[in-house]
């Protein structure tokens, strides 16, 4: 069967002006609706002295104060945030609760499920998935599964694996899917566990791996693509908002589904709106969320706009960089803003290193230089040359003077968990 190039060509290749018009129309309706239907936004807009009819341009919309996660979203009772009668809520899903200490309920209506599903049919086509492809899902998220089947794929849903990793691996070995979707850490764990079970996941015939939920470096991608003979793609989203970004086959930044989401990048301290090339916090407004809509939601994730130029895939939708990290993980050194992933890109290029590293902060605020501890492999003896090469590599990548300390294998390995601590303070 001929492969579709776009799921929704009219939107995905629309002129920029048309996209902005669609955004403005949807935003006006959204503000109007949340003002009428939720106590939460009625109160916030009144406090800011803004009426729905004041929103005439996209810039007007940006005057509405952003919705912060802990102070606004978590602090507001569910009943004040829901914009539909409770009988229209068909699912209650939840955030991970990492920051607030407990999972936060998020209400979903049938209308929400429909758009969410369709957006994943778009993703599926963008990742080159076609009828007959078998896809194994390691995300417990039915709207994503349905989107892939809508685009023609045959699904092995998360539930088929009875929630046990060994079963998921054995099933994969039997079914031989052409693609999988997972979180990066889970994917790595599975790869390791499969080897213990005597199964080589690289030989199953997987051509497409979609990883979302955590940031991972381009150097890691290059290494995995070489080893696996598969394409590795990024996808970004959050439960409260939906999934606004993903990579096309060009793998140079993520396209934004701009008719479905209004995306802004702002300075996390001043909330000033930033343009291309300036990293800042992503603020998202879902233009379709029905049951629990959020205006200008601060994600805590950092990325930057890419220059507005035509993409090789033919999509006209704007592109954003891959996620660099969380706002709390931004290190200011010299005149630069550096994230662990920037350091990781360099570290991964050195076969002498294990990949474990830490950024060391020696004082509050702006650091004089970038200080990095990196772990070397047991067989390495030439440490002075290695330190020099690594410092040069870091300086070239970050444009900041760098100081490197090398530490023996096993020094930085995460204790009691697999989530590494990448930033440490000595003050």
Interface residues with Zn ion (CB under 5 A)? Answer: 248, 250, 311, 313, 315
In the complex, what is the shortest distance from the CB of residue 122 to Zn ion, in angstroms, rounded to a whole number? 12
In the complex, what is the shortest distance from the CB of residue 28 to Zn ion, in angstroms, rounded to a whole number? 29
Q: Compute the Cα dihedral for 75, 80, 81, 85 and give only its sign.
A: positive
236 contacts 255 by C-beta, under 8 angstroms: no
Alpha helix ranges (H) inside 231-289 = none
Phi, then psi, of 234 in degrees rounded to 5? -100, 145
User: Closest CB to Zn ion among 216 and 233?
Assistant: 233
In the complex, what is the shortest distance from the CB of residue 306 to Zn ion, in angstroms, rounded to a whole number? 11
User: Closest CB to Zn ion among 5 and 337?
Assistant: 5
Phi, then psi, of 418 in degrees rounded to 5? -110, 5
User: Closest CB to Zn ion among 222 and 250?
Assistant: 250
In the complex, what is the shortest distance from the CB of residue 263 to Zn ion, in angstroms, rounded to a whole number? 16
Mention every residue, 6+ apart, whose C-beta is less than 8 A from residue 54: 60
User: Closest CB to Zn ion among 210 and 248?
Assistant: 248
Parallel, antiparallel, or unpaired: how do β-strands 402-408 and 370-376 relate? parallel
User: Closest CB to Zn ion among 198 and 310?
Assistant: 310
User: Closest CB to Zn ion among 250 and 396?
Assistant: 250
In the complex, what is the shortest distance from the CB of residue 314 to Zn ion, in angstroms, rounded to a whole number? 7
In the complex, what is the shortest distance from the CB of residue 5 to Zn ion, in angstroms, rounded to a whole number? 11
In the complex, what is the shortest distance from the CB of residue 130 to Zn ion, in angstroms, rounded to a whole number? 18
Can you count the helices (H) and strands (E) in the chain? 12, 20
151 contacts 163 by C-beta, under 8 angstroms: no
User: Closest CB to Zn ion among 125 and 386?
Assistant: 125
Residues in the chain: 427
In the complex, what is the shortest distance from the CB of residue 264 to Zn ion, in angstroms, rounded to a whole number? 21
Render the burial of 381-397: b for 16+ CB within 10 Å, e for the rest: eeeeebbeebbebbbeb
In the complex, what is the shortest distance from the CB of residue 304 to Zn ion, in angstroms, rounded to a whole number? 17
User: Closest CB to Zn ion among 31 and 248?
Assistant: 248
383 to 369, 374, 393: CA distances (angstroms): 21, 11, 15
Q: Rounded to an integer, what distance in angstroms lies between the CA atom of residue 31 and that of residue 193?
A: 49
In the complex, what is the shortest distance from the CB of residue 313 to Zn ion, in angstroms, rounded to a whole number? 3
Identify which of 72, 7, 2 has the alpha carbon closest to the alpha carbon of residue 295: 72
Q: Rounded to an integer, what distance in angstroms lies between the CA atom of residue 188 and that of residue 186?
A: 5
Residue 353 tokens read as: 């290193």
Mention every residue, 6+ apart, whose C-beta is less than 8 A from residue 290: 83, 84, 88, 109, 111, 112
Q: What is the dihedral of CA 287, 292, 295, 301, to 10 degrees?
A: -90
In the complex, what is the shortest distance from the CB of residue 252 to Zn ion, in angstroms, rounded to a whole number? 8
- Identify the helix (H) or strand (E) that includes residue 423: strand 423-425
Q: Is 47 exposed, middle or buried (0-12, 13-18, 19+ CB in 10 A)?
A: exposed
User: Closest CB to Zn ion among 250 and 405?
Assistant: 250
User: Closest CB to Zn ion among 311 and 360?
Assistant: 311
User: Closest CB to Zn ion among 319 and 324?
Assistant: 319
């Amino acid at each position: 069967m001929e492969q579709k190039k776009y799921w929704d060509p009219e939107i995905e290749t629309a002129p920029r002006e048309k996209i902005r018009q669609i955004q403005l129309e949807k935003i006006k309706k959204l503000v109007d609706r949340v003002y009428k239907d939720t106590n939460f936004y009625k109160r916030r807009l009144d406090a800011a002295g803004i009426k729905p009819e004041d929103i005439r341009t996209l810039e007007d919309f940006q005057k509405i104060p952003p919705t912060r996660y802990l102070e606004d979203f978590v602090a507001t009772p569910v009943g004040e945030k829901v914009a539909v009668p409770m009988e229209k809520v068909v699912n209650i899903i939840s955030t991970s609760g990492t920051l607030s200490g407990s999972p936060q309920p998020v209400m979903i209506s049938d209308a929400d499920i429909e758009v969410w599903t369709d957006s994943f049919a778009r993703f599926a086509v963008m990742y080159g998935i076609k009828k007959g492809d078998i896809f194994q899902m390691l995300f417990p998220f039915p709207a994503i599964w349905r989107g892939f089947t809508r685009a023609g794929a045959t699904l092995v849903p998360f539930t088929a694996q009875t929630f046990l990793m060994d079963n998921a691996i054995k099933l994969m070995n039997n079914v031989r899917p052409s693609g999988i979707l997972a979180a990066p850490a889970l994917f790595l764990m599975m790869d390791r566990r499969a080897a213990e079970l005597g199964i080589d996941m690289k030989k199953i015939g997987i051509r497409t791996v979609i990883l979302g939920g955590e940031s991972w470096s381009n150097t890691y991608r290059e290494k995995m693509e070489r080893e696996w003979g598969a394409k590795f793609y990024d996808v970004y989203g959050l439960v409260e908002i939906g999934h606004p970004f993903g990579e096309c086959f060009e793998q140079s930044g993520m396209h934004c589904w701009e008719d479905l989401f209004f995306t802004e990048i702002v300075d996390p301290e001043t909330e000033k709106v930033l343009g291309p090339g300036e990293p800042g916090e992503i603020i998202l407004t879902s233009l379709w969320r029905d049951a629990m809509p959020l205006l200008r939601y601060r994600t805590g994730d950092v990325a930057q706009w890419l220059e507005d130029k035509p993409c090789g895939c033919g999509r006209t939708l704007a592109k954003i960089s891959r996620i660099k990290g969380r706002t709390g993980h931004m290190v200011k050194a010299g005149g630069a803003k550096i994230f662990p992933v920037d350091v990781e890109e360099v570290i991964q290029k050195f076969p002498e290193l294990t990949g474990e590293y830490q950024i060391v902060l020696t004082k509050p605020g702006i650091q004089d230089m970038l200080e990095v501890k990196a772990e070397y492999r047991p067989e390495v003896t030439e440490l002075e040359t290695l330190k020099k090469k690594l410092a040069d590599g870091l300086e070239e990548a970050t444009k900041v003077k760098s100081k490197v300390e090398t530490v023996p294998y096993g020094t930085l390995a995460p204790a009691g968990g697999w989530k590494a601590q990448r930033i440490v303070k000595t003050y």
